[in-house]
Amino acid sequence: MSKAGGGARLVAAGALLAASAVLLGAFGAHALQARLGPVELGWWQTAGHYLLPHAVAAFAIGLNDRAAFRLPAWMLAGGALLFAATLYLMALGAPRMLGAVTPLGGLLMIAGWLLLAWRALRED
């Protein structure tokens, strides 16, 4: 059995994150709509708003399978997961101090995009 390459792992991670974003979005819209307040619903929606496109970006970069782009893609996926997870957890009642971690996910996403741009221009 062959071992999955770096690109294949990114494709799998992106696909799993995208599936999670859709599943959690549907759960929020159908099961939590009447149970959460407007602030918590806003957190839930913001989490999905960032998770899905970054999952698709990691998926697409994984399909490209260029070694120089793997680290930025993992930064996008990891940042989106950290950002979204903290918002989802706070919406479900976790302590609001967890919100101090949320910007770290955002910074990781920003750094991933900047590193991706830099490496793309460097290869050109």
Q: How far apart are the C-alpha atoms of 112 and 53, rounded to whole Å?
A: 13
Confidence grade of residue 78 (pLDDT, cut at 50, 70, 90): very high
Confidence grade of residue 111 (pLDDT, cut at 50, 70, 90): very high
Question: pLDDT (tens digit, 9 = 90+) per residue, 49-75?
Answer: 999 999 999 999 999 989 999 999 999
Q: How far apart are the C-alpha atoms of 65 and 46, rounded to whole Å?
A: 29
Compute the mean pLDDT over every residue in the chain, rounded to the nearest whole number.
Answer: 94
pTM: 0.92
Task: Say which residue the tokens 């994984």 belong to.
Answer: 62
User: Which tokens belong to 14?
Assistant: 């992106």
Q: How far apart are the C-alpha atoms of 1 and 20, rounded to whole Å?
A: 28
| Type of residue found at 35 | R
Q: Does residue 96 surpass a pLDDT of 70?
A: yes
pLDDT value of residue 3? 53
Strands (DSSP E) contained in 6-78 are none
